[in-house]
């Protein structure tokens, strides 16, 4: 189910355009407009899930998403040298869009801790 006021739901339904990298029946991957690394894509479920706290009933969907990360890393040419996969939850966790999403970052050495 999509949320009418969610920007990522609007991207998933193609109401708002995005530079799509990968898409299947369950997930969509597109370039982040505010990239912080040479490769910075967002991996979202097409179904509206606000954050990880709301995802406990979504094991199949999350498993599919995680399995797709290897394909996406290869497609974006970060698999060989490595990448970071991040999901922020709620305001103090850095979540700015209330739709579960993962940032796949790569293309350069990534420092730790991130912030």
Distance, in Å, from the CA atom of 70 to the CA atom of 109, rounded to the nearest integer, reads 18
**Of the listed 40, 48, 99, 101, which one is catalytic?**
101
Is residue 83 a contact partner of residue 102, using CB atoms and an 8 Å limit?
A: no
Start-to-end C-alpha separation, the chain: 33
Is residue 21 a contact partner of residue 30, using CB atoms and an 8 Å limit?
A: yes
Residue 64 annotated to the active site: no
Catalytic residue numbers? 101
């Amino acid at each position: 189910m999509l949320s009418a006021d969610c920007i990522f739901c609007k991207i998933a339904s193609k109401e708002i355009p995005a530079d799509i990298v990968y898409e299947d029946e369950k997930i969509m991957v597109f370039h982040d407009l505010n990239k912080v690394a040479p490769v910075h894509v967002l991996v979202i479920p097409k179904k509206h899930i606000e954050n990880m706290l709301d995802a406990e009933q979504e094991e199949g969907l999350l498993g599919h998403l995680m399995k797709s990360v290897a394909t996406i890393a290869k497609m974006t040419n970060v698999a060989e040298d490595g990448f970071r996969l991040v999901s922020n939850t709620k305001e103090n966790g850095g979540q700015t869009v209330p739709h579960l999403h993962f940032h796949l970052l790569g293309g350069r050495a990534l420092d730790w801790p991130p912030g």
